[in-house]
Structure 1
Amino acid sequence: MQLFKKYIKVITMCDEHGALTPIYIIWNNGSKYKIDKILEVRKAASKVGGCGILYRCRIGKSERSIFYEINRWFIESTNP
């Protein structure tokens, strides 16, 4: 299965130390999904190229990994 890098909109909170916490993911069609819990945060390389900070998140009953890479967010997607 081929994966693609898909840039997404993310609403975040930035604390007084500069740490980012993603709160919502917004798809291109405007659908908004609340991130219920951050399960893991670490530096990581993506399977689709590039590297950054990986946030493994729980959204409802699903887990999803999002990456923060040089001032923008992306996911590994099966759709380009």
Structure 2
Amino acid sequence: MQLYKKYVDVVVMQRKTGELRPLCLCWNDGREYRIDKVLSHSRKESCVGGCGIRYVCIIQGRCRNLFLEKDRWFLESYQP
């Protein structure tokens, strides 16, 4: 299966240290998904192209890669 970049809105907390922590994903249709846990974050390349900070997150019990690429957030998704 082919992977795509799925750009999403993200609610983020910025700590006084400058660290960013994603809290919630917001879909175009208004659905919101709370990020249950951030397991790690580091600079990585995405399988779908591009490079940025990869946040390995648990969202509704599933492990997902969320990327911050410059000033936009995206998920690796099987649907465009």
TM range (shorter): over 0.9
Q: CA RMSD in A?
A: 0.8
Pair 1:9 & 2:20 matched: no
Q: Which runs of 5+ in 2 are unaligned?
A: none
Map 1:1-80; keep pairs closer than 5 Å: 1-80=1-80
Q: Which runs of 5+ in 1 are unaligned?
A: none
Determine what percentage of the aligned residue pairs are the same residue: 47
Moved over 6 A (4+): none
How many Å apart are 1:8 and its aligned residue? 0.5
How many Å apart are 1:13 and its aligned residue? 0.2
The one-letter code of the counterpart of 1:76 is E
Normalising to structure 1: TM-score of the pair? 0.94
Question: 1:59, 1:75 → 2: CA distance?
Answer: 12
How many Å apart are 1:61 and its aligned residue? 1.3
Aligned pairs, how many? 80
